[in-house]
Structure 1
Amino acid sequence: MSEDQKRQLETQLWGIANLLRGKISADDYRDYILGFIFYKYLSEKQYIYANSLLLGEATTDYKDLTDPDLLEAIKEESLLTLGYFLLPTELFSAIAARGNADTETESNYILEDLKAVLNHIEQSTMGTDSEEDFNALFEDLDLNSTKIGRTVAARNAVIVQILNHLNKIDFKLGDLESDVLGDAYEYLIGKFAAGAGKSAGEFYTPQQVSKILAKLVTTGKTKIKSVYDPTCGSGSLLLRVAKEAEITEFYGQELNRTTYNLARMNMILHDVHYRDFNIQQEDTLENPQHENLRFEAIVANPPFSAHWKGDDNPLNSNDARFSQYGRLAPKTKADFAFMQHMLFQLADNGIMASVFPHGVLFRGGAEGVIREYLIKEMNVLDAVIGLPANIFYGTSIPTCIVVLKKCREQDDNIVFIDASGEDHFIKVGNQNELREEDVELIVETYSKRETHDKYSYVATLAEIAENDYNLNIPRYVDTFEEEESIELDTVAEGLVQLDSELKSNEVSLTGFCKELGIKTPF
């Protein structure tokens, strides 16, 4: 599929979202639009797969199949291959068609049928390997919510409208060479994030930042066994890594229930097999779900300076993730707790790249103790990359990327990159945005570990120690621009000339005022 066709699909999908503007709040219609796109995807996937099994049978179109034995056989194969099952009468197109019925003998009321179908998708997986991945997946699609209509008829009308518009769009799932729908889904998530304000950080990392993180953790690799995100949001970061290298297994954890559901949908919709991903819903710092595993690549955009239990939870002092550092991260700033957690889960041959607020680079107290231990005792800090301010949705603070490696190839230095200058981003609306060339320059500078005037510096560990393990980027990358020198004599001459011209103008103006018989203004 061409780029033009992909953009057309994105525009069509966003157009459906725009139909609901003013009728439903942005957060609510996001859940309905993304949820129904996912339902349509599952339906089309089921239809294509079932028809491939029916080749050679008397009935060659799954939509027309009624034979109970054939349906049972298709169900068994579907649960193994797809992880779920839909009857012909439960397909998206069938429900949308019922919504179009408007005769005296047939009602277009579909809410109960739709609710039953969504429940059955989940129920079909019970007792199978995919049960956990589909459990309560559609719980945010509340078809009885007054948010989408004050009456049953109004709610039905909104849902019918969404399904009708989606039913007209060809997802082209038969195009095996393209992840078009997955890309369009990512596009929609980004568009919703752009309009969600502060809450957007809960589920979305800007695409160009995701690209940097993905390229950093895949440096020198084309295949990676496992990738992990402890605050995975919608799963976009994990999926971005898969665009840079072949990934065998995806792991993630997310606290927010709605966002956790979105992450699982995103994985399935990007054709990641249910056996190849493990997304859990829990507090990563308090209840890590994958702590016995080690990952070759770790990417994250944790909530900035979040609160956590810290030393209020006595178990944290003995937790292997935190205990060796001598101090726990402050209760009001969990940034280092997330960093320590990720380092603990990092494989010896792995790379971790995560976004943090700049405070992790220079704040003192417990954070200073932890930072010094990471550098002096463990020698795991590989790079610090400063990003432009106002690049994340919902916050304008400047941020940085911290890169950690347990087995560093060049373990006697640390690369500092300052990509925050005005030459290294563009302004798009109210946001700053990295361009493709900005991303490539960051990745290339990191890979080659080069010093560039006013952009990057390769600092020795001795220099870091001399700065008391303060990692504030301006200490290492000098971006100071000398102001143009001013000739005071020239300025003085100019002032004399201006004074002379002013006096001449005053004389002329006085003459004009006398001719007009009015007072002079001075």
Structure 2
Amino acid sequence: MTQDISFITKTKQLIDNLKSVCANYGLGNDGNEFKIISQVFLYKFLNDKFRYEVKQVQHALAKAENFTEALQQLSDDDYKFLINSLNPNVPHLKVHQLIEYLYNHQNAGDFAKTFDDTLRQIGSENADVFSVKAFSGAKDLLFDELSQFISDSSQRDAFCKALVNKLFEFSFEEMFEQKYDFFATIFEYLIKDYNSDSGGKYAEYYTPHAVARIMASILVPEPVKKVKCYDPSAGSGTLLMSIAHQIGENNCTIYSEDISQKSSNMLRLNLVLNNLTHSIPHIIKTNTMAQPYYLETKFDYIVSNPPFKLDFSDFRNDLEADRFKERFFAGIPNVPKAKKDSMAIYLLFIQHIMHSLSDTGKAAIVVPTGFITAQSGIEKKIRERLIDKGWLRGVVSMPSNIFASTGTNVSVLFLDKQADSEHILLMDASKLGQTVKEDKNQRTVLTAEEEKHIIATFNNKEAIEDLSVVVSKEQVKEKNYSFSAGQYFEVKIEYVDITPEEFQAKMSGFESRLGELFAEGNRLDQEIQKQLKGLKYE
């Protein structure tokens, strides 16, 4: 554990050092800073991953005093054999593409060009595994020409040297050996200063880990294998990482769609850090509603924290196309005359998710709590379909402010094509958690015990006073398809046995107190009348 903390500290120091280099060359808080930090960090990770994996299959290289020189001495045939021996998801690097090689040749002329060319070659030669695809099929390569972000060309060589020197000081290899699972913490630290949507429409970069863990643990209570997991509004992938860890990275393939280039690149990095490189080719940058890449694909597990409100008036009418009729069975929100940005796009995501489930599919979706009790409209049509089809497994209403970025109260819908319609679990967890201050925002945080309590209560289908109820499909219909646990809680009236004498004494006390209040009321009324008469004659 101490060693684990030490690795985290060293990795954070590397990230801070890279930020310092950017600041020293005028790129602190620049719009391109995130590209530089994330891509250089990824290059370092892939470099060390390659070194580690090569040493696992070639023990002679592991024992070599100088790894780079030993690798360089391999014949072309031996090198090809070595590459073919690696897991297909391990990056394929040549000697001149390693950080150690660049470090040893940093004083050669035009180093910035060498650095850029190296990254470009790595991206191009590993495109099949590491490229994010757009809806059109175009591939987004791993790396930009990073030196070009320095406007003063005379400073580019020095900038690239400074980056390589920081990378050379540190190694991930020991972390791979120990298999420490801390990359969620590292990823969060890496993106913390860039964790906002700078123009992308759907990007939701951060879902609280407690919510993600609860969703994954309820969604996958038993071991499963060879399943497809999907998020149509993936952001940086917090929900996908959580469900992949719950299932096991080798037992699932991740699929995602998101309109934001920035969030797609974040997700790619997250997949690499979390041993899910094999899923990178399934990241699609697209408008999931208007141009769904996976429209006809069915998934075993779907997780989503979609944007709740968004102006989609520019493509709203396109969604009424015949090919989307079955998908948007409950309808499409109209364009309001004012406040177009309040259009409830999450209602489209819920319908899209229902359409995308396999015959045995399961889903967990974050929704505004108002959805679960709406009396009419698209919301009620969706709830009716879920109940009538028998797809609702249950709902958990979360504490307010569990998301620091929004004051909207949220609930999580759990869908299951094979749900037990006689034992639907509705939970009101809104009173749980404790309030903490994060920057200027107040946020509610669930304790580890509360997380476990929510998960166990849900999975065991337990009815607990003022927390959860177990209801049938028919009971939900009787309550106008309400998914709110509170509407099913019994109103409890406490009865206390007293004697006739005690009852008479209590009634006398009430009568006496009422008499006093009436007398006081008359006195005040007379006082007011006197005051009014005095004012009249002045």
TM-score band by shorter chain is 0.7 to 0.9
Q: Of 69, 74, 80, which residue of structure 2 is paired with 1:73?
A: 80
Aligned partner of 2:429 in structure 1 is 419
CA distance 1:426–1:58, change in 2 (3 Å): closer
Equivalent positions of 1:401-440 (< 5 A) are 401-408=412-419, 410-421=420-431, 423-429=432-438, 430=441, 431-440=443-452
CA distance in 1, matches of 2:120, 2:86: 16
1:257 Cα deviation after fit:
1.1
Aligned partner of 2:456 in structure 1 is 444
Aligned partner of 2:526 in structure 1 is none
Residue 270 of structure 1 pairs with residue 274 of structure 2:
yes
1:119 Cα deviation after fit:
0.8
1:48 Cα deviation after fit:
2.9
Identity %: 19
Secondary structure at 2:436's aligned position in 1?
strand
Aligned partner of 1:356 in structure 2 is 367
Secondary structure at 1:211's aligned position in 2?
helix
CA distance in 2, matches of 1:313, 1:473: 37
CA distance in 2, matches of 1:328, 1:432: 33
CA distance 1:181–1:467, change in 2 (3 Å): closer
Contact 2:384 2:481 in 1 (8 A): no
Query: Which amino acid in structure 1 is aligned with residue 427 of structure 2?
Result: I
Deviations 1:407-454 (A, max 9, x none): 11x212432222222x42341423332221221121111111222222
Aligned pairs, number:
475
Q: CA RMSD in A?
A: 3.8
Contact 2:399 2:430 in 1 (8 A): yes
CA distance 1:328–1:366, change in 2 (3 Å): farther
CA distance in 1, matches of 2:61, 2:447: 53
Alignment gaps of 5+ in structure 2:
336-342, 495-509, 517-538
Query: Which amino acid in structure 1 is aligned with residue 430 of structure 2?
Result: S
Contact 1:330 1:366 in 2 (8 A): no
CA distance in 2, matches of 1:196, 1:17: 22
The alignment's TM-score, normalised by the length of structure 2, stands at: 0.76
Secondary structure at 1:388's aligned position in 2?
coil
CA distance 1:175–1:123, change in 2 (3 Å): closer
Query: Which amino acid in structure 2 is aligned with residue 399 of structure 1?
Result: V
CA distance in 1, matches of 2:279, 2:451: 33
Query: Which amino acid in structure 1 is aligned with residue 448 of structure 2?
Result: E
CA distance 1:135–1:54, change in 2 (3 Å): farther
User: Structure 1 residues 184-193 or 411-420, which shifts more?
Assistant: 184-193
CA distance in 2, matches of 1:448, 1:27: 48
Q: Of 298, 301, 312, which residue of structure 2 is paired with 1:297?
A: 301
1:186 Cα deviation after fit:
2.6
Query: Which amino acid in structure 1 is aligned with residue 292 of structure 2?
Result: P
Residue 471 of structure 1 pairs with residue 483 of structure 2:
yes
Equivalent positions of 1:265-414 (< 5 A) are 265-274=269-278, 278-308=282-312, 312-313=317-318, 315-316=320-321, 318-319=323-324, 321-325=326-330, 327-330=331-334, 332-408=343-419, 410-414=420-424
Aligned partner of 2:503 in structure 1 is none
Contact 1:26 1:196 in 2 (8 A): no
Equivalent positions of 1:437-516 (< 5 A) are 437-476=449-488
Contact 1:50 1:74 in 2 (8 A): no
Q: Of 87, 93, 114, which residue of structure 2 is paired with 1:86?
A: 93
1:31 Cα deviation after fit:
2.9
1:241 Cα deviation after fit:
1.3
1:389 Cα deviation after fit:
2.5
Secondary structure at 1:205's aligned position in 2?
coil
CA distance 1:389–1:174, change in 2 (3 Å): closer
Equivalent positions of 1:5-44 (< 5 A) are 5-16=6-17, 19=20, 23-25=27-29, 28-44=32-48
Query: Which amino acid in structure 1 is aligned with residue 428 of structure 2?
Result: D
1:269 Cα deviation after fit:
2.8
CA distance 1:18–1:89, change in 2 (3 Å): closer
CA distance in 2, matches of 1:173, 1:479: 59
1:232 Cα deviation after fit:
1.3
Q: Of 242, 245, 251, which residue of structure 1 is paired with 2:244?
A: 242
Aligned partner of 2:183 in structure 1 is 182
